[in-house]
Amino acid sequence: MEDMLKTLTRRSFAASRARNWIAVLAIALTAVLFTAIATIALGTMESFTLTLQMQKMSRSDGDIRYMTAEQFESLGQADFIRTAGLRMPVAYLSNAVRHNIEFNVQDEIQAELTFCAPTHGRTPAAPNEVVASDLALRDLGVEPEEGAEITVTFTAHGQDYALPMVVSGWYEALGGQLSVMWAGTAFREAHPEIFRYTFHEDSDMAGTYFSDFTAYSPLGLEKKLRELVYDLGGEPDDQTAPNYLLTAVNQATNVRPNAFQIASAAAFAALFMLCGYLLIFNVFDIAVMQDIRRFGLYRTIGMSRKQVRTLINRQALWLSGIGIPLGLLGGFFIGRAALPLIMGMVVTEYQNLAAEVSPSPVLFLSAAALTALTVFCSTRKPVRAAANTPPMEAFRYVERFGGGRSSRRSAPGASIPRLAWSNLGRNRRR
CB atoms within 10 A of CB 136: 29
- Give the whole-angstrom CA distance, residue 230 versus residue 64: 13
Q: What pTM value is reported for the model? A: 0.69
List pLDDT tens digits, range 60-91. 999 999 999 999 999 988 999 999 999 999 99
pLDDT band at 12 (very low <50, low <70, confident <90, very high): low
Percent of the chain whose predicted confidence (pLDDT) is above 90: 39
pLDDT band at 414 (very low <50, low <70, confident <90, very high): low
CB atoms within 10 A of CB 68: 19
List pLDDT tens digits, range 242-255. 899 999 999 888 87
Average pLDDT, the chain: 83
Residue 282 has a pLDDT of 80
- Cα angle 104, 106, 108 (rounded to 5 degrees) comes to 140
pLDDT band at 96 (very low <50, low <70, confident <90, very high): very high
3-state secondary structure the chain: CHHHHHHHHHHHHHCCHHHHHHHHHHHHHHHHHHHHHHHHHHHHHHHHHHHHHHHHCCCCCEEEEEECHHHHHHHCCCCCEEEECCEEEEEECCCCCCCEEEEEEECHHHHHHCCCCCCEECCCCCCCEEEEEHHHHHHCCCCCCCCCEEEEEEEECCEEEEEEEEEEEEECCCCCCEEEEEECHHHHHHCHHHHCCCHHHHCCCCCCEEEEEEECCCCCHHHHHHHHHHHCCCECCCCCCCCECEEEECCCCCCCCCHHHHHHHHHHHHHHHHHHHHHHHHHHHHHHHHCHHHHHHHHHCCCCHHHHHHHHHHHHHHHHHHHHHHHHHHHHHHHHHHHHHHHHHHCCCCCCCCCCCCCCHHHHHHHHHHHHHHHHHHHHHHHHHHHHCCHHHHHHCCCCCCCCCCCCCCCCCCCHHHHHHHHHCCCCCC
For residues 106 and 270, which has the higher predicted lDDT (pLDDT)?
106
The answer to whether 411 and 418 are in contact (CB under 8 A) is yes
- Give the whole-angstrom CA distance, residue 251 versus residue 58: 10
List pLDDT tens digits, range 139-153. 999 999 999 999 999
Enumerate the domain spans of the chain. 2-53+257-400+417-424, 62-249
Residue 196 has a pLDDT of 93
